Structure 1
Amino acid sequence: MASLESTVAVVTGAGRGIGREIARHQAAAGAKVGLLARTAREIEETAALIAAEGGTALPLPVDLVDRVAVEGVLARVAVELGPIDTLVNNHGSFRAFGPIWDCDPETWWSDVEINLRGTFHTCRVVAPDMLKRGRGRIVNLVGGGTGNSFPHGSGYASSKAAIMRFTECLNDTTIDGGVRAFAVDPGLVRTSMTELQLNSPEGQAWLPGIQQLFDEGINVPPTRAAALIADIAAGRFDPLAGRLLRGVDDRDQLEAEMHALAAEDGRALRFTGVEQRKL
């Protein structure tokens, strides 16, 4: 396991599912972890699990759309745990299913705002301090629709594609100062989000492919993304900063191929080479 001794991590959406596993892996590797989510009970449960495993965690309830509240909780992390070395934006919302004319506009926009604006809020607070210290890593989770069309999940897909581009922009802005940003796709993981897709009438009507994938045995353990992100935090995949890494990746193979991927400009949100030359 990667060593994160004497570091501080912040994980959003840390109350359950993928976020809980990310936080536990960060703590198991030696990091002190700030746990952010809207539901206090859930992040308190995550903190208790980490404490029982010998780690240190600070649960901080927050609505990531509230800029002032985000500034406040991240200031508390810095005071109570120390300067932040790793930021993982794992939070996500996906509640608007179907063609855009059938989606409730407020629900559709809420998905975009939570996913994208929440990520912006945390990064804009954490990145400047990382730059002052000349080091830091930021991991933003993406997902379905990042690099392909997702017609009946357009709000979620639009936000995740935007987060991918935002991650590239952020990395290009900060990498010369020693701060690297990464995008991670955890794969199809059975979480409360996918349970809503599977069990709600709207999800069953418009996203039947999700059930089909689970029926075919595609169910990525959340530990895959958590272990990958621990390695990212420890610097193992620094040559892939600004690019997409996946929970389904074989990490040893990815490490062997990462310099070639970077040289080929792979794992990035790009037009094809021919189209790029026409612009």
Structure 2
Amino acid sequence: MIDIKNQIVLITGASSGIGAACAQGFAQAGAKLILAARRFERLQDLAASLGLAADRVHLIQLDVRDRSAVESAISNLPTSWSEIDILINNAGLSRGLDKLHQGDFQDWEEMIDTNIKGLLYLTRYVVPGMVKRGRGHVINIGSIAGHQTYPGGNVYCGTKAAVKAISEGLKQDLLGTPIRVTSVDPGMVETEFSQVRFHGDTNRANQVYRGLKPLTGEDIADVILFCATRSPHVNINEVILMPVDQASATLVNRQP
């Protein structure tokens, strides 16, 4: 088992949901945190709630879709924060649930640019340092949607299938190095996910979880922390987890 105390962990999409839960879990384990998100005020609130000293947390306002911003953020890290041990590519979203032939182009671009290109940008700029130092772990947050397509999921499912393939390809490319690669792929998790998907329609978002007990951000963070703390020779390639009330991307048990 690896002691991650004082390891530097970069979490994207850290302002809410799974990202914020990861910040909490890794902070409790003694890690130093680089928290990145678009909503800087939310990051500041999160950092304050964690009660960490200034030398234990570093905040970055970052839109992962902006390649030049990602490059600048990584290359301009203070020396004491530059040797990233764990990268958690958590930033991601879903927009809409339209049929493909009725889809919104802007929704498509936002999902592709965030879920695929943003993950690629962070990986491309962080992993070379890991290889050079001979240590590191990339943890990508995928989805059951990357394994099973569902009606209306078309482009979102495509982006998460890409995350699955990218994770597998990265693991193959890093063979011969000690760098580990993990994809954590949840089913239904009650975060801001559905509100974002439905453009702030809270009533519609709440219906997604009606009558069942979904996973929480803390549940996912617990699994991510488990993956990160295994013995150095152990690589957990992929984890698929769902609530007990879910059996597939489309099959759920709802109480009346």
TM-score range normalised by the length of the shorter chain: 0.7 to 0.9
Of 186, 210, 232 in structure 2, the residue corresponding to residue 215 of structure 1 is 210
Q: How far, CA to CA, are the matches of 2:77 and 2:242 in structure 1?
A: 31
The match for 2:72 is 72
- Correspondence 1:244 to 2:238: yes
Q: Distance in 1 between matches of 2:88 and 2:127?
A: 12
Residue identity matched to 1:102: Q
Q: Residues 143-164 of structure 1, C-alpha deviation per residue, up to 9 Å, x if partnerless? A: 1421111230212111000001
Residue identity matched to 2:162? A
Q: Alignment partner of 2:215: what SS?
A: coil
As a proportion of its length, which structure holds more helix? 1
Amino acid at match of 1:40: F
Shift of 1:79: 2.1
Q: State whether residues 78 and 84 of structure 1, in contact with CA within 8 Å, keep that contact through their aligned partners in structure 2.
A: no
Map residues 136-155 of structure 1 onto 2, 5 A cutoff: 136-155=136-155
Query: Whole-Å Cα distance in 2 between the matches of residues 218 and 13 of structure 1?
Result: 24
Q: Which has the higher contact order (CA 8 A, sep 6+)?
A: 2
Please report the TM-score for the alignment, with normalisation by the length of structure 1: 0.78
Q: Which structure 2 segments of 5+ residues have no match?
A: 244-256
Letter in 1 for 2:229: A
In 1, Cα distance between equivalents of 2:135 and 2:5: 15
Q: Secondary structure in 2 aligned to 1:167?
A: helix
Aligned twin of 1:95 = 95
TM-score by length of 2: 0.85
- Displacement of 1:4: 1.2
CA RMSD for the aligned pairs?
Answer: 2.8
Q: 2:24 & 2:109 partners in 1: Cα distance?
A: 31
Q: 1:174, CA displacement in angstroms?
A: 1.0
CA-to-partner distance for each residue in 1:239-279, whole Å, 9 max, x for gaps?
444x3213459xxxxxxxxxxxxxxxxxxxxxxxxxxxxxx
Matches within 5 A, 1:32-181: 32-51=32-51, 56-77=56-77, 79-181=79-181
Note the residue ranges of structure 1 that are not aligned, 5 or more in a row.
250-279
Looking at structure 1, the residues matched to 211 and 233 of structure 2 have their Cα atoms a distance apart, in angstroms, of 34
Cα distance between partner residues in 1 of 2:92 and 2:225:
20
